[in-house]
Amino acid sequence: MVTIPPEPVPSGLTSKPPKIIGWQAAAGTCLRLTTPLTFCVNAAKLRTMDGSGPRTGVIFGQNAFLFGSRFSTSGLNEVKACEHVTATSVTQDEVSYTRTVNSTGVSKDSQASFNATRSLKKLFPIIVQLWMTAVLFVFIAVRILASGTVQNLLHRWIPR
Amino acid sequence: MLWLVLRALFGVVTLALAGFGCGAWIANYLPVTCNRIERLGISLLGGLGIFSLALFLIGQISFSRTIIVAAVSAAVLLSVRPLRRAWRNLSLIPQSISREAFIPCLIVLIVLVLTAVAGTAEITGGWDHDAIAYHLLGPSVWLREGAIRPVLDNSHTAFPQIPETLFAVLLALGGDRAPDFSSWLTLGLLQLISAGLAMRMGLNGSQGWWVAAIVASMPSVYAGSHNCFVDGLFAVFVLAAARIGFDAEGKKEWAIFGVFCGLVMGTKYTGLLAVPALAVCCAFVLLNRDHLKRAGEIRNLCVGLAVTAMVASPFYLRNWILLGCPIYPPPPGYASFCSPKYFPRQAIEQFHNYIYQRGAGLGRDWLAFLKLPYNVTYHTANFHGAGGIGLCPLALAPFGVVALRRDTFARALALFAVFLACIWFFTQQESRFLIHVYVVAAIFSVAGWGYVSARYGKLQRLTAAAVVGISVLYGLLMIIRSQTENLHAVVSPSFAQFRRAREIPYLASFDYLNSDPSVKKILILDRSVPPYYSRKPYVKPFGQWGELTLPQISNSLEPLRNVRELHVTHVLDVVSPVSGFQIDHPDSNLELVFQSEGQRIYRVD
């Protein structure tokens, strides 16, 4: 990994949250910010279009690079978090990481992190499916099967 | 009927214009993150509150129809310029609705039209119907007596009175159908603020519409937002205050936040608990902001809270001066700190027992708290829930929380909802008191829906859509069922008459008393008789909750001895669920002039 010395980072970058122009973009697309952020590392604060939370990405100047399929640019608050990045919070590693991402598109760090959580993530769709099905099933059981009409029918078919 | 509908429509539109006239300036001091339509909605909402507050203050001196008309006219004139500007601005916004938003838009429209149509039916019911017992009783008595004063025979008319003052304006301008007819406006504002909050949290336009549709189809939300219930309006004020407070910067924006918090406290006593919770959440947001500005913003928050106290104080000061207690009737735990007038200790205990019994819910232990999401979803008849809240919050909101977990605004809103739910759980577990939390749950549900749809496979997408579809359809079904009688009464005059006779207690007596010109003042002996139906002045020695309206009275027959001093011309005696006829042997000065089943009217000679 090539280490590049960090650019100077001004503290209190902007008084107002920067606004991103554009709405939706594919992975790796460059977005332009109306307010320049000189050096905001770990811009994993940009919200994805599907509301799935932060995506790994970086912001350079007025450009934002995100990794992921789709993302929304309406979450100004997330970009606002970049305001808190000051010179002290930018480490050498982060800078090199950022620059690596910028040059190659995929960092080794993010790949390792991805591998670690991949097995857990595989379970999520099953949990989500089970949860929603359970809510629906209980609703059907409680509101429909337990209703007077259905009970009367059941009693007719299955005499006590 | 058409005349009644047109009059009600006139009343609501005029009030909305007046509200906009009073609140248009608010749009200039809202956080930059508010979009144009949101600004319009919040301005109208704030304007309605400010107009009501102004009328409440004027009404302490005089509250005649002339004064109301003058105040409304002035406020409508104020609305002309901002309305033109708003019209111009709105015309710049694309008017077409995207394809994804078509279905939720239709759902919202169905609910609003249903509410408007059903709202033109006459409000009927007995002393157990809140609108009849106090929400409309106060305004009708104020209009008759020409001043805003608590009606002593029902202590609930001393509640904070922002919605009731608006009802009084509607009664004066739009007739007796206008207050319930105005529910579509309240519901519409609730949906608009809900969608605005959702879009602030990163959801797109069509998702905002879905939030509005899910909120509109929650039976519990609906139950508290029509039929002259004030919980819907209260929830809108709370949510608008949260919307402003979580993004506020600078003194002016915090002052507007304070105005809305004041309106919250001026709408319902529960606002006294909601506002501190909101202040804590605002402080949480400030702690997550730039530390350089933090101290200044905390000072500004204090300015906002000072404005809150100013806006809300008239209601509490008035009660303190007139009734001996700022919070009247005193809730449990507070009665020992003040001396409420006209409310004997025994009656207070009876009132507290009612609160404990009504608000018991399904228990108050930690297990009951953990089971709350399940119980609120499936035990729809509990918590006086009138149909529950649908499936979306339980099925999808947890994923929404996961999706928005790093968004400070969303975290603050979730924290606020948890605070409010805790307060509700430990005070009075009545479903409609939790509308604002249901709205927050709906926002997280839609965020969760988007999260599931975008991240997972087709099966999950279909299941999530099925959850939303079934939930909304079930909610609509419950809402339509709850409004069937009102709709029937609107289209069928014969059914309206039948329902009137069935649901208005002692209708024959009220018809007699209201139509006989010799009736000047009525003595109502039974505490369960709802005096809302009387168009003539009345005296009711014992109130609904055991209030004592006349000094040194120990039973309801004692006033009969000095009916002349009370200027009473007629006495109404009835058989009720709480008592039989109270006059067994009428005095010589009482002449029986009307008798019906369980009802007798005596003329005082």
pLDDT, tens digit, 9 for 90 and up, residues B128-142: 889 999 999 999 999
The DSSP output letter for B29 is G
Contact yes or no for B347/B547 (Cβ under 8 A): yes
pLDDT at A120: 63
| Beta-strand runs (E) in B470-587 | 522-524, 538-539, 570-574
The mean of the pLDDT values for chain B is: 91
Whole-number Å distance between alpha carbons of B489 and B117: 10
Least trusted range by pLDDT, from A30-44, A73-87, A121-135, B501-515: A73-87
- Indicate yes or no: CB of A51 within 8 angstroms of CB of B451: yes
Say which residue, B461 or A110, is predicted with more confidence.
B461
Confidence bin at A79 (pLDDT 50/70/90): very low
| Residue A158 pLDDT > 80 | no
pLDDT at B95: 62
pLDDT at B128: 87
pLDDT, tens digit, 9 for 90 and up, residues B221-238: 999 999 899 999 999 999
Look at the block and give the residue holding tokens 């709405």. A23
pLDDT, tens digit, 9 for 90 and up, residues B512-521: 999 999 999 9
pLDDT at B385: 66
- Indicate yes or no: CB of A50 within 8 angstroms of CB of B450: yes
The closest CB to that of A45, out of B406, B409, B448, belongs to B406
The closest CB to that of B391, out of A45, A47, A135, belongs to A135
The closest CB to that of B464, out of A47, A54, A132, belongs to A132
B475 closest CA partner among B101, B184, B104, B98 = B104
pLDDT at A85: 28
- CA of B254 vs chain A CAs: smallest distance (Å): 17
| b/e sequence B75-107, b meaning 16+ C-beta within 10 Å | bbebbeebbeebeeeeeeeeeeeeeebebbbeb
B549 closest CA partner among B78, B222, B154 = B154
Predicted TM-score (pTM) of the model is 0.82
Confidence bin at B577 (pLDDT 50/70/90): confident
CB contacts, 8 Å: B408 with chain A: 77, 81
CB contacts, 8 Å: A47 with chain B: 202, 406-407
Side chain identity, residue A73: T
| Residue A70 pLDDT > 50 | no
Neighbours of B36 (CB within 10 A): 13
State the DSSP H helix or E strand holding residue B36, giving kind and residue range, or none if neither.
helix B36-59
CB contacts, 8 Å: B466 with chain A: 136
Q: Would you state the structure tokens that stand for residue B481, as one six-digit string?
A: 């069922």
User: What distances in angstroms separate CA B529 from CA B75, B342, B384, B510, B525, one per listed residue?
Assistant: 38, 19, 24, 10, 8
Contact yes or no for B140/B151 (Cβ under 8 A): no
Angle at which helices B271-287 and B291-323 pack, to 10 degrees? 170
- Indicate yes or no: CB of B409 within 8 angstroms of CB of A77: yes
pLDDT at A149: 66
Considering chain B, what percentage of its residues have pLDDT values greater than 70?
A: 98
Which of A141-150, B233-242, B339-348 has the highest average model confidence (pLDDT)?
B233-242
- Indicate yes or no: CB of A49 within 8 angstroms of CB of B459: no
Residue A44: closest C-alpha in chain B: B406
Which of A77-81, A87-91, B56-60, B564-568 has the highest average model confidence (pLDDT)?
B56-60
| Residue A51 pLDDT > 50 | no
DSSP string, B63-132: --HHHHHHHHHHHHHHHHHHHHHHHHHHHHS--PPPGGGHHHHHHHHHHHHHHHHHTTSPP---TTSHII
Sign of CA pseudo-dihedral B341, B342, B347, B353: negative
- Indicate yes or no: CB of A48 within 8 angstroms of CB of B454: yes
- Indicate yes or no: CB of B407 within 8 angstroms of CB of A78: yes
What integer is the mean pLDDT of B273-282?
A: 95
pLDDT, tens digit, 9 for 90 and up, residues B73-113: 999 999 999 888 888 877 766 666 777 889 999 999 999 99
- CA of A2 vs chain B CAs: smallest distance (Å): 31
pLDDT at A140: 83
| Order of all β-strands in the sheet with B522-524 | B538-539, B522-524, B570-574, B599-604, B590-596
- CA of A159 vs chain B CAs: smallest distance (Å): 28
Q: C-alpha angle B86/B88/B90, rounded to 5°? A: 65
CB contacts, 8 Å: A72 with chain B: 202, 204
pLDDT at B94: 63
Say which residue, B558 or B470, is predicted with more confidence.
B470
CB contacts, 8 Å: A48 with chain B: 454
CB contacts, 8 Å: A136 with chain B: 391, 395, 463, 466-467, 470
What integer is the mean pLDDT of B482-495?
A: 93
pLDDT at A41: 35
First to last CA, chain A: 78
The closest CB to that of A135, out of B395, B408, B455, belongs to B395
What integer is the mean pLDDT of B162-177?
A: 95
Whole-number Å distance between alpha carbons of A106 and B530: 74
For B394-444, the three-class secondary structure string (H helix, E strand, C coil) is HHHHHHHHHHCCCCHHHHHHHHHHHHHHHHHHHCCCCHHHHHHHHHHHHHH
Best mutation target among A11, A76, A139 (most B Cβ atoms within 10 Å) is A139
pLDDT, tens digit, 9 for 90 and up, residues B8-66: 999 999 999 999 999 999 999 999 888 888 999 999 999 999 999 999 999 999 999 99
